[in-house]
Amino acid sequence: MRLLVLGGIRSGKSEVAEALVAGAGAVRYFATAQESTSDDGWAARIAAHRARRPDTWLTEELGGSPERLAELLTAAKPEDTILLDDLGGWLGSVYDIIGDWSNPAAADERIGVLADAVRSCAAGLLVLVGPEVGLGVLPATEAGRTFADANGLLNQRIAAACDGVALVVAGEVTWLRGGELVGQAGKREPSAGPLVRPAQAPAEPFVFEAAGAGSVLSTADGGETLSFSPGMELPLPDESTAHEAGERLLTLRLNGAGMGGLTPVVRFAGGVQGRPDPRPFQQPRVLVLRGDRAGGFSAGDSAEAADRRLEQVVEGDATIAMLAATAGASVQAIDCPDAGPAEVHDALDDSAVDAALTLGWRLADAAANEGVDILVLASCGAGSDAAAAAIVAVLTGAEPTALLGRVVDASGFVDDAAWIRKVGAIRDARHRIRNRSREPHVILSMLGGGDIAVATGIVLGAASRRLPIMVDGPVAIAAALVARDYGAQTRHWLLMPDHGDNPTVKLAADVLGAAPFLSLHLDLGEGATALTALPLVNTALTIAAATPPRAEEPQPDQADIEAEIQRVVADSPTAEMPYVKPSWED
């Protein structure tokens, strides 16, 4: 777990950070301040910090060697608890080494290296303290302005790499993100002086016992049920680095006009990775969801056919499995709760919805803990397309006949009779629930089924861990639409390669603002288009990251330009042509 604690001078940020690691026993303390023999006040501050540290803490003094910090973080072990105090001291040392306090961009490369080290740090708990200097007046000196600008960028990059960010003002802690990870850690009692409730040691990550190769997970593996409600506070991608990633493309030495339709992909990766030079996704994972339905929703399909599809995924014979192998993605199969006939009664009861959401959340959380850097959602359940169309119809007001695509049976023939039964079931279900709430939990219970509920939990859990998701089919997009009503930030973590002209996916993507960047029109099952596009995405990111910038060309002087224009005009064949009076002037 990585936590960033920001605050101003004498805000209490260091005390809060120390409280966060107080329950860990042995702590590695990285001190970045440089000692001074000529400044008694500065020496007194350093002495006060040292006096607060328990004897069991091991201190690493990095004041004169800021480059060691990234090395130490990269070499950290899972059993380590690390406290870094503070990032401002590290940044000051960096500028002292650079020797140029006039250029805020001079430390950009080193800031990127440190952010990468924080993101990849394997320590069980890493707490970083940083000064928040952007709330005051603009510094009057050039060096002060340089530090303030660079410190703002540093805080953004480190925050993007952390699981939680806290702001400390007047000793009071406000968790901007990730407060649920530490509970009430760092908060004060109303009349207390020092911090009275230190954080406990971080909880062990949730482990799926049945997650071995060839296994199929279910809600029974999800552990204790979690609680979900609308208004969840989830992180957003870093819009500033997304913009920088797009602008950076304009400076590269590319052979041609640029990245074209892949430019939004580079911007997206810059935002979710928190860096202007995003890297290819190295550890993708495909989550294949299977959830069947009874009644008219599954017309033209069957649970037996869904069984065969899931078995092919587990054995590696399915198209999804082949594409995943090509893309270098791991595959996890999930057997979701079956749903009843939604046209007759609710598809799931409340407890089944809670269990499915919990399973989805923990699937995303476990993936993040294992180093997965992008998820792909796929599905193979019976009747999932009709359930997704029903949800989109209810949440957007669209007509079911306009949302449900043609039904193609296992032999490849169009089954119009099955399509009619599906549309009738969706209309009956919508009529049945016409007077009921449209809250997300109720929608999943009334219409969604297990696979869409699990997918919704995955979208929520992935957003909470800053993990992007590729979506291309009805189950994933319907889940994203429901997840938006739990936490509006979730839609910003979605990457859609193509909607395949599926009317349900097309409408929901438009509502969510998920614009496709390809037009392949594949129909190989949900998740196949995303896996087909993933190597292209990584190719674009490789080009964007590895291509050097263009060399600066000298700009011609304005006087030279004007002289050249006059020379061209003088040498023109028309320059000495006689004037011929047109007839209409007579």
Q: Which residue's structure tokens are 């959602």?
A: 377
Host H or E run for residue 17: helix 13-20
Cis bond before residue 86 (omega within 30° of 0): yes
Q: What are the beta bridge partners of residue 128? A: 4, 84
State the catalytic residue, choosing from 180, 526, 552, 585: 526
Q: Which residue's structure tokens are 């180093």?
A: 371
Query: Hey, what amino acid is at 583?
Result: S
CA distance 165 to 4: 5
CA distance 383 to 294: 8
474-486 vs 384-396: helix crossing angle, rounded to 10: 40
Backbone φ and ψ for 93, nearest 5 degrees, come out as -65, -35
Structure token pair of residue 252: 């590269």
Host H or E run for residue 110: helix 108-120
Region of 383 please: left (phi>0), alpha (psi -120 to 50) or beta: left
CB contact set of 60 (below 8 Å; sequence gap of 6+): 28, 29, 30, 31, 68, 72
* DSSP string of 178-192, one letter each residue: -GGGTTTTTPPPTT-
Which DSSP letter does residue 448 get? I
Q: Count CB neighbours of 243 within 10 A.
A: 14
CB contact set of 578 (below 8 Å; sequence gap of 6+): none
Q: Is the dihedral of CA 148, 149, 150, 152 positive or negative?
A: positive
CB contact set of 305 (below 8 Å; sequence gap of 6+): 382, 410
3-state secondary structure 39-84: CHHHHHHHHHHHHHCCCCCEEEECCCCCCHHHHHHHCCCCCCEEEE
3-state secondary structure 280-337: CCCCEEEEEEECCECHHHHCCCCHHHHHHHHHHHHHCCCHHHHHHHHHCCEEEEEECC
Query: Hey, what amino acid is at 410?
Result: A
Q: Count CB neighbours of 134 within 10 A.
A: 13
Where would I find the beta strands (DSSP E) of 73-203? 81-85, 125-131, 164-169, 172-177
Q: Is 311 a catalytic residue?
A: no
Structure token pair of residue 307: 């069984």
Q: Annotated active-site positions, please?
A: 526
